[in-house]
Amino acid sequence: MNNTELKGLRTQIDEINLKLLDLLNERARVVELIGAYKRSAGIQDVYDPIREREIFEHLCSQNKGPFDDEMIKNIFKQIFDESSELQSRQRI
């Protein structure tokens, strides 16, 4: 691999990062809608361990790598935690 090829790959990473950012923000908007529903329904807990487990199971069943299932769980755990924080901040 030469410098030009490396630069091209880094450009691809930059483009993918922006797509991921857009998707994360789209996901966050849906999370806010779920939070609004929970508040209107009187649901206090933003964290649902059963739902989280179901999502992990589904994601791992669809995972084709190269990330292994534990890596996928770690990445999504962070996304879930930040989503819960977003819903909690809406309550303040």
How would you classify residue 6: left for phi > 0, otherwise alpha for psi between -120 and 50, otherwise beta? alpha
Average pLDDT over residues 56-69: 98
Looking at residue 73, its amino acid is K
pLDDT digits (tens, 9 = 90+) for 64-89: 999 999 999 999 999 999 999 999 88
What CATH topology corresponds to 3-90? Answer: Chorismate Mutase Domain, subunit A (1.20.59)
Which range is most confident: 24-28, 40-44, 84-88?
24-28
